[in-house]
Amino acid sequence: MQARDPISKLPTHEVTNMPPHIGDQNLWQGDKALVYWTKMMGGVQHQKHFAKVGLKTGSAETFHKANQANRHGPELRVFDQYGMRINSVEFHPAYHNLMDLAISHKLHNFAWHNEGNSPHLGQSVLTYMFSQPEGGVMCPMAMTYSVLPALRMAPSIAEEWIPRILSTEYDHRDIPANEKSGAMIGMFMTEKQGGSDVRANSTFARPDGEGYLLTGHKYFCSAPMCDAFLVLANTENMGISCFLVPRWLPDGTRNNLFIQRIKDKLGNRSNASTEMELQDTWGIMLGEEGRGIRTIIEMVTGNRLYCAMSSTGIMRQALVQALHHTSYRSAFQKRLIQQPLMRNVLADMAIEVEAALALGLRIAKAMDNSADPAEAALARIGTAVAKYWTTKRCPNLVVEALECHGGPGYIEESIMPRLYREAPINSIWEGSGNVMGLDVLRAMGREAEAIPAVMAELDKARGNHPNLDQVIDDLRDELGDQVELEHRMRMVTEIMALALQGALLTRSGAPEVAEAFCATRLARRYRGAFGTLPKGLDIDAIISRALPKASGMTVG
C-alpha cells in the first residue's frame, strides 16, 4: 500500500495520532492467506490474472468510486421526456466505471472461459477480491456467472445468449441485446406472499405462439437493467416453470416489464433492487414445464458459493481496515496493535477470515471436480454449509472491526459503515439461515453420497487435534440421532462447518492458525465472541500472516 499524509496543520491544533490514508491496496499479492490457499486448491495457473485484478480492484481510485456509487444511488425513470414509458434506472458514472472494471476482468464469466481449468475456484477468488471495495456491482456479476448451466438446458436459448454473456465488454445501453456488445442476465423469483417458498408464487404464464405471456408481481428484482431475467411462473397444468424474459422483444420493441419502485434498502445501495409488475410479459420456457425450481436451482447453487466468498471478502477488508487503524493509532503510550487485548481481537478475526477462505475455496474445488461423485456430493451439501456459516459470521466480525476504530469507524467518511450495511445481505440472499439448514437436511436425504463425502473429508484430519476429533465424533452422533433432526439443523450445520474448517486448517494450513482455531472454535467453552483466544498461542505469527504484505503495518 502507498500511504499519503493529509494536510494536518490547522489554526487551532496540529493533527496527530491519526492513521494516514490507507491508499492503494494489492488485494492479491498483499493477501498471504489468499495466495496460499489458492495455490493449495490448485489455482496457481490463474495467478497472473488474479494479480492484475488484485492491483486494479484494490486501488484507492476503485475504493473512491465505490464510495461515490453508494452515496449517489440509482434513480428510477419510469417515463422519458416525451411521456413514453421506459422503465429505466439511471446510475452514477462511478457505478458504470465499476461495472466496466468488473466485466472487463471477467468477474461475471471467468468460470466459463476456463472450464476444465479450476473455473469455480478462479471465480471464487475474483469474487473475494472485488467484494472488498464494493458489493452492489457484484449482484449482476453473480447472477450472470451462475445462469449459464440453466441456459444450457435449452440449446436454442443457449446458442443465442451464452455468447453475449461470455463477452468482456460492458454495454449499459438500454437497447435490444442483439445490438449490444455484451449482455447481463438476472433473475426474478420472490413474491410478497411466498418469500423463500416459491411454490406459493402466483405469477401465471399462458401460451402465446412459441412463447408465453406472464402476469404477476415480483417483489425483489435486483439489477433490473440486465438484458434478460430468469423468472418463475405457474403454467395452467404443470405448476412452477422457468422462463427467460428479455427486456426487449424479438421485434425490437420493449417488453412489458413495469418497474414500480426502487427499494430503500439497508445496504447494497449502489445496486437497484426493485418491485416489478409483469402484465402480458413475453418469455420463453427454459427447461421442462413444471420443473422450474429444478431448472433455476443450478443458478441458486452458484449464487450460494458467491454469497460465502463475498462475505469472506467483506470480512477480509474489515480486518485490513482494523489492522491499518490499530497499527498507527496510539493509546496509553502504545500503539493499539501492541495492546494485549487488541492483539487478541485482531488475531481472532484473522483466524475467522482464513477459516472462511479455506472452506469457500475447498467447496469451489469440489465444484470443479464434480465428475467425481464424492466431490459432487461435497459441493452440493458444502455450498449450503459454507453459505450458512460464513454469512452468519460476517456481521459479527465487521462490527468488531468497526469497534477497533472507535468513533472514527462510525463516520460515513470511513468505509466501515458501508461494510457494516453490506454484511447481512448475503445471509438473506439465496436463502436465509433456516433455508440453508433445511437445504443441508434435504441434501442428506436425497443424496446418499452427501454425508459419506463430508465424513471422509473429516476423517482425513483425524488425529491432528483432540478438539477436532471430538467435534467429528459429535457430528457423527448428531447425524445418527433422527429425533427432531429438522429442529436441530442450524446446530448440525454449524458443527459441520466448524469441523470442515478445522480439518482444512489442521491438514494444510499454517500451524499457528490451525492451533488457535481448534483451541477456540472447537473447544467446549467457546461462545463465539472475538478476542477470547486463550493464552499460549502464537499471536505474533497469526497477526503477521494477516497483515497486508508491504503495507508498512507491523505486528508490534
The residues, ordered by sequence, that sit 6+ positions from 526 with a Cβ below 8 Å of its Cβ are 520, 532
**For the chain, what percent of residues have pLDDT higher than 70?**
98
Cα separation, 393 vs 398, whole angstroms: 9
The residues, ordered by sequence, that sit 6+ positions from 15 with a Cβ below 8 Å of its Cβ are 6, 8, 9
Cα separation, 364 vs 310, whole angstroms: 13
When mean pLDDT is compared across 157-166, 247-256, 294-303, the lowest value belongs to: 294-303
Predicted local distance difference test score (pLDDT) of residue 552: 67
Grade residue 338 by pLDDT with cuts at 50, 70 and 90.
Answer: very high
- How far CA 197 is from CA of 76, 272, 368, 435, in Å, comes to 29, 23, 30, 10
Q: Residue 523 carries which DSSP code?
A: S
Predicted confidence (pLDDT) per residue in 31-76, tens digit: 999 999 999 999 999 999 999 999 999 999 999 999 999 999 999 9
- Over residues 367-390, mean pLDDT: 96
Q: Residue 356 carries which DSSP code?
A: H
Cα separation, 86 vs 243, whole angstroms: 22
Predicted local distance difference test score (pLDDT) of residue 7: 62
Mean of pLDDT over the chain = 95
Q: Would you say 94 and 73 are in contact if contact means Cβ atoms under 8 Å apart?
A: no
Predicted confidence (pLDDT) per residue in 395-454, tens digit: 999 999 999 999 999 999 999 999 999 999 999 988 899 999 999 999 998 888 999 999
Predicted local distance difference test score (pLDDT) of residue 549: 84
Domains annotated for the chain, with CATH where assigned, are 32-170 (no CATH), 185-293 (2.40.110.20), 297-546 (1.20.140.10)
- Over residues 386-393, mean pLDDT: 98
Predicted confidence (pLDDT) per residue in 323-334, tens digit: 999 999 999 999
**Burial of 110 by CB count in 10 Å (0-12 exposed, 13-18 middle, 19+ buried)?**
buried
pTM: 0.96
Predicted local distance difference test score (pLDDT) of residue 5: 56
- Tell me the CB-side half-sphere exposure of residue 346, using CA atoms within 13 A: 31
**Burial of 40 by CB count in 10 Å (0-12 exposed, 13-18 middle, 19+ buried)?**
middle
Grade residue 198 by pLDDT with cuts at 50, 70 and 90.
Answer: confident
Angle between helices 138-151 and 119-130 (to 10 degrees): 160
Angle between helices 292-328 and 340-368 (to 10 degrees): 150
Query: Cell 477436532, residue?
Result: 468
Q: Judge whether residue 3 has pLDDT over 60.
A: no
The residues, ordered by sequence, that sit 6+ positions from 82 with a Cβ below 8 Å of its Cβ are none
Grade residue 4 by pLDDT with cuts at 50, 70 and 90.
Answer: low
Query: Cell 436425497, residue?
Result: 446
Predicted local distance difference test score (pLDDT) of residue 39: 98
Q: Judge whether residue 512 has pLDDT over 90.
A: yes
Cα separation, 499 vs 488, whole angstroms: 17
**268 backbone φψ class: left, alpha, beta (φ>0; ψ -120 to 50):** left
Predicted local distance difference test score (pLDDT) of residue 540: 97
Predicted local distance difference test score (pLDDT) of residue 556: 63
Predicted local distance difference test score (pLDDT) of residue 8: 64
- Over residues 382-405, mean pLDDT: 98
Q: Would you say 153 and 295 are in contact if contact means Cβ atoms under 8 Å apart?
A: yes
